[in-house]
Amino acid sequence: MSNNSMPKKNPLSFQLDLSKWEKASAAEKEQQIVERESVTFFKDGMRRLWKNKVAITCAFLLIFIIVAVIVIPMVYPYTYSQQLGVAQKGQVPDSSYNGLKPMEYGATEQARIAAGEKIFPHLLGTDDLGRDYFIRVVYGTRISLSVGLFASIIVLIIGTLYGSISGYFGGKIDLIMMRIVDIIYSLPDMLMVILFSVVFQQTLAPLIEGTFFEKLGTGMISIFLVFALLYWVSMARLIRGQILSIKQQEFILTAKALGAKPARIIRKHLLPNCISVMVISTALQIPNAIFTESFLSFLGLGVSIPMPSLGSLASENLSYIYSDVYRLLVPALTICVIVLSLNLFGDGLRDAFDPKQKK
Amino acid sequence: MDKKFLYYILKRAVLAVITIFLVITITFFIMNFIPGGPFMSEKSVKPETLAALNAKFGLDKPLHEQYFNYLKGAVKLDFGPSMKMDGRMVTDVIMEGFATSAKMGLIAAAGALTLGLIFGSLAAVYHNKLIDRIIMVMSTAFVAMPSFIVATLLLWLLCVETKIFPANGQSAGGLVLPIVSLMLYPMAYTIRLTRSSMLDVLGQDYIRTARAKGVAPSKVLFKHALKNAVTPVITYAGPMIAFILTGSLVVEKIFAVPGLGKYFVSSIINRDYTMIMGTTIFLAIIVVVMMLLSDILYKLFDPRVDLS
């Protein structure tokens, strides 16, 4: 049937007379297409994040710090545990290396410079035991960052598992699981952390002897254990809440009707929909963990010597507040910068990917 | 509301009691986990001396008996004798130190709440203006600083460099800086809470009505808006006390304040187990009670809150 052929028209009818209309040409049709690609959730969030200048600045600052703490120890001529005054094992340390001010050299080094050799300067001097302080700060930053990251990942894994099981099954299981969470949540966390750290430091040493964990030291393992025991509860609550609301939606019912097993539904349908919440709260958990680690290290419960962390460096050098204050300020301000930029970046992530949560 | 409210208080109180009981239990058993008992560190202890020490502290009895004895004592806030400070009871040491810590903590908490409410409201009233920006930048920075770092920075700036305050916390003037360093983080947090809830409240219809009626701006702010904006801040009061108490552990060490924190830190270093247990339980009780109080106050202030 051609377009122009119309059934016989009643003169009183309001029916359109197509003969009076012209068909659009291909070029005209093209014009009508709205020139915008469909935007995925991720792209949309990234666009919003990119507009947030503060968050992006912080992200670059963090990337810079991370790259720096990875690269610098590779190229720096001194190591964090090397006592520069001790040239050979068993030798009496050369005390001229202890407590150097920034850019100063020890006695043998000065002799070598006088002989025309070039020696890499000690950017921040050395500490009491003649260890290069700059590399200790770099290494301390590396340790603090990795403690923060790993502790948050532990929290993420346990919290997600617990929260999704509790949220998905609901009913009595949920009730019991959430009561447990309530109780752990109401324990005063910092006090428990201190207590657990005291005990773990004493009990773990024989357990981990000779294994890979011995290298990490009891202090760091006890921090991880404490996070695994206590800090997952808020993550579990968050995930449970998300699961509860997503569970009501039709696509879950469909999956169930098609015979999907609970594990598959949780893994393939529920958790992917929680990813933004998970990423955001992990990002905000990292500064928290760094905070806790530095607090514990400051109390003398953190990483084991000779390993430095920012908190233990600040604590060790507290007594230099009257003479060499830079030794205290450098690690202290590094903690501030890292925690601040992680916080701001996390806030930016939240605003970009989960605008509903915005405070 | 009365019956429901009472039921709610009861439920919360029961949870609080369970929590305290759990803290005591966990503390007791995990401290007993430590191999060798508390006197292992003294290297050349004769077996007879060790037996005498164990008998003195009741460590020769079976574990469950020790536990019930400890529980009985803890109910009366009696945590037994200190293991490292000769002849002193843990409770006496705690009370002595706590007098100073509580004074400092209360002033810090009151200061944080007052200043937080004032600056938070200011920021909300001047939303997106310069004042708001300045307040927000400051509060963001303070939230990122652990209290021990604030304390060391203040110590350096005001005691070592400019000598405005004494660096020693034993005199009254020396308590100013510890209080300030404890106060800054909760203050910054209160500012953020107040600002966001105030912004929320100021956008509501009844505020517009009040303004349209010609109520003085200050009255709208203080009488109409602040009353409703204050509720989230109340829920923060409990966690805040907890934060200040644990924060004071390190701050007291830095400023050499003779408070509970100083004893706690030194007991950790000396491995004085009864002291560690006693202080942990004592602080935990305070924290749990404060949480309970702030929950109840929250409900009293805002009857709209759903109790289920």
Q: Do B175 and B165 touch, CB atoms closer than 8 A?
A: no
Give CA–CA dist B290/B30, Å, rounded: 25
B89-148 residues touching A, CB cutoff 8 A: 140-141, 143-146, 148
Cα–Cα distance list, B23 to B10, B16, B67 (Å): 20, 11, 13
Cβ distance of B23 and A188 shorter than 8 Å: yes
Q: Taking CB atoms and an 8 Å cutoff, what residues of chain B touch A300?
A: 268-269
Across the interface, whether the CB atoms of B280 and A195 are under 8 A apart is answered: yes
State residue A323 phi and psi, 5-degree precision: -110, -70
Position A1 scores a pLDDT of 45
What percentage of chain B has pLDDT greater than the value 90? Answer: 8
Both tokens assigned to A230: 């206590």
Question: Which of B43-52, B170-179, B291-300 holds the top average pLDDT?
Answer: B291-300
CA distances from A284 to A302, A338, A343 (A): 21, 12, 6
Tell me whether residues B35 and A301 touch, CB distance under 8 A: no
B23 at the A interface (CB within 8 A)?
Answer: yes
Contact B196/A at CB under 8 A: yes
Contact call for residues A78 and A132 (beta carbons, < 8 A): yes
- Given a cut of 90, is residue B115 above it in pLDDT? yes
Mean pLDDT of B278-299: 84
pLDDT of residue B35: 63
Residue B277 tokens, joined: 């247990």
pLDDT at B36 over 90: no
Burial code (b: 16+ CB inside 10 Å, e: under 16) for B105-144 equals: bebbbebbbebbbebbbbbbbeeeeeebeebbebbbebbb
Pick from B33, B160, B249: CB nearest A199? B33
Q: B252: which 2 tokens?
A: 């007291």
* Cβ separation A182–B246 shorter than 8 A: no
Amino acid at B108: A
Q: Distance between terminal CA atoms of chain A?
A: 61
Within 10 A of B152 (CB to CB), how many other CB atoms are there?
Answer: 27
Separation in Å, CA A343 to CA A189, A263, A311, B66: 20, 34, 18, 46
pLDDT grade for B47, boundaries at 50, 70 and 90: confident
Please give the pLDDT value at position B1. 58
| Dist CA A101 CA A105 (whole Å) | 9
DSSP string, A83-145: -TT-SSTTSPP-GGGTTPPTT---HHHHHHHHTT------TT-B-TTS-BHHHHHHHHHHHHH
Nearest CB partner across the interface for A335, out of B149, B156, B265: B149
Check if the beta carbon of residue A269 is closer than 8 Å to that of residue A252: yes
pTM over 0.80: no
Q: Which of B228, B176, B219, B182 is nearest to B201 (CA)?
A: B228
Nearest to B198 by CA among A359, A130, A327: A359
CB hemisphere CA count around A313 (13 angstroms): 32
Residue B249: its chain A contacts at CB < 8 A? 194, 299
Contact B181, B152 (CB under 8 A): no
Cα–Cα dist A113/A121, whole Å = 11
The ipTM (two decimal places) reads: 0.75
Q: Using the predicted structure, report yes or no on whether residue B226 has a pLDDT greater than 50.
A: yes
User: Is the per-residue pLDDT at B308 higher than 50?
Assistant: no
Q: Name chain A contacts of B265, Cβ cutoff 8 Å.
A: 299
Angle of CA points A285, A287, A292, to nearest 5°:
95
Task: Give contacts of A325 with chain B, Cβ < 8 Å.
Answer: 156, 160
Distance linking the first and last C-alpha atoms of chain B: 12
Number of Cβ atoms within 10 Å of the Cβ of A29 = 10
Task: Give residue B31's pLDDT.
Answer: 79
Q: Which domains are assigned to chain A?
A: 45-82+132-357 (1.10.3720.10), 83-130 (no CATH)
For the beta carbon of residue A38, count every other beta carbon within 10 angstroms: 5
Token pair 């009990």 in the structure block, residue: A203
Angle at the Cα of A196 from the Cα atoms of A192 and A198, rounded to 5 degrees: 120
pLDDT tens, position by position, A323-358: 778 888 888 889 889 988 988 888 888 888 876 655
CB of A300 less than 8 A from some CB of B: yes
Are the beta carbons of A299 and B33 separated by less than 8 Å?
A: no
What 3-state DSSP class applies to B42?
A: coil
Tokens (6 digits) for B115: 């200043």
Ramachandran region, residue A300 (left: φ > 0; alpha: ψ -120 to 50; beta: rest): left
Pairwise CA distance, residues B252 & B274, whole Å: 21
Q: Cβ of A332 under 8 Å from any chain B Cβ?
A: yes
Contact (CB<8Å) B34/A203 = yes
Number of A:B CB contacts under 8 A? 109
Task: Give B108's contacts (C-beta < 8 A, 6+ positions apart).
Answer: B179, B182, B183, B186, B244
| Weakly modelled stretches of chain A, pLDDT under 70 | 1-9, 35-36, 85, 87-94, 208-215, 355-359
Please enumerate in sequence order all residues whose Cβ is within 8 A of that of A319, keeping only pairs 6 or more positions apart, or say none. none
**CA-CA distance, A249 to A259, in Å (whole number)?**
16
Q: Is the pLDDT of residue B278 over 80?
A: yes
**Rg, Å, chain A Cα set:** 31
HSE at residue A123, side-chain half, CA atoms within 13 A, is 10
Tell me whether B83 touches chain A (CB under 8 Å).
Answer: no
- The nearest alpha carbon in chain B to A318 belongs to B152
* Chain B contacts in chain A segment 238-267 (CB below 8 A): none
pLDDT(B43) > 70: no
- The answer for residues whose C-beta is within 8 angstroms of residue A67's C-beta and 6 or more apart is none
Please give the pLDDT value at position A162: 92
The predicted pLDDT at position A327 comes to: 85
Please report, rounded to a whole number, the percentage of residues in chain B having pLDDT higher than 70. 91
- Residue A201 to residue A217: CA distance in whole angstroms: 9
**How confident is the model over B49-77, as pLDDT tens digits?**
777 777 766 677 777 888 888 888 888 87
Is residue B209 predicted with pLDDT exceeding 80? yes
Q: What is the pLDDT at residue A64?
A: 94
Q: Considering only the beta carbons, identify the residue of B144, B276, B291 that sits closest to A339.
A: B144
With CA atoms as reference, the chain B residue closest to A291 would be B146
- In one-letter notation, the amino acid at residue A44 is D
